[in-house]
Amino acid sequence: MRRKLAAGNWKMNGTTAALEELDALQEVAEGAAEVLICPPSTLIAQAAVRSGKVAIGGQDCHSAASGAHTGDISALMLRDAGATHVILGHSERRADHGESDALVAYKALAAWDAGLTAIVCVGETLEQRESGKTLDVIGKQLAGSLPDDVTASNTVIAYEPVWAIGTGKVPTTDQIAEVHTFMRATLVQRFGNETATGIRLLYGGSVKATNATEIFAVVDVDGALVGGASLKASDFAPIVTALNG
């Protein structure tokens, strides 16, 4: 049985004052779903002290354990600061920093080595969807971004169509179902039934309290990766409640 996961990605938002939002999530984090907040790395250590029932994650890590990589952060540093998860291969990192599938796979290995759960993101652009390439793109990203030693506990997959991120545009439930069903089948083929059916598949892209219930009812959607609506507990808590059922 896969435990539902409501993950918030604060992206490059939030200073110390934002940590109050964690306090306000405590009640809803008592429910069945796991609640995770990924604040900017400057806040991780303070967030972890204050997070209570909310798990804390990073938004990226380097593929190396340490070394001469100015400005980067290692998986071990995230773990040391109190993180348990790390988002990898977000489309904003793929676009802004040219991250390839192969690099994301190396980062996943680094995350596992440090004891972090990797949340690996995949998703097509609007152009790719409109030219009928969605499943090809997702299949290629999954093949290239996941190392062989995936387990149900060390990896979560997030399907985030690039065109739905921060736009208020959401795929139809049929479109989400098509991709999630495809992802599950692809994982079964590569990792076997037991592992693949244990891996949580999140949907991300303009998830809000108003559409969460409908999205969470879609087959093989095990939770959400939420951007804008995770910044305020008053917006995020109803999404968690919808997931708690």
Ligand X SMILES: O=C(CO)COP(=O)(O)O
Task: Name the β-bridge partners of 204.
Answer: 225
Options 17-25, 28-36, 95-103, 160-168: segment touching ligand X (CB under 6 A): 160-168
The nearest distance, CB 193 to ligand X, in angstroms, is 28
Question: Looking only at residues 76 through 115 of this chain, which bind ligand X when binding is defined by CB under 6 A?
Answer: 90
Nearer to ligand X, 9 or 128 (CB): 9
Question: Looking only at residues 201 through 240 of this chain, which bind ligand X when binding is defined by CB under 6 A?
Answer: 204-207, 225-229
Nearer to ligand X, 15 or 167 (CB): 167
The nearest distance, CB 114 to ligand X, in angstroms, is 21
The residue annotated as part of the active site, out of 21, 92, 99, 160, is 160
Nearer to ligand X, 9 or 145 (CB): 9
Using the rule CB under 6 A, is 165 a contact of ligand X?
A: yes
DSSP string, 62-125: -SSSSSS-TT---HHHHHHHT--EEEES-HHHHHHS---HHHHHHHHHHHHHTTPEEEEEE---
Distances from the Cα of 15 to the Cα of 3, 43, 67, 166, angstroms: 30, 7, 27, 21
Q: How far is CA 243 from the centre of its chain?
A: 15
Using the rule CB under 6 A, is 51 a contact of ligand X?
A: no
The residue annotated as part of the active site, out of 85, 90, 92, 124, is 90
Enzyme catalytic residues: 90, 160
Task: Catalog residues that contact ligand X under the rule CB under 6 A.
Answer: 9, 90, 160, 165-166, 204-207, 225-229
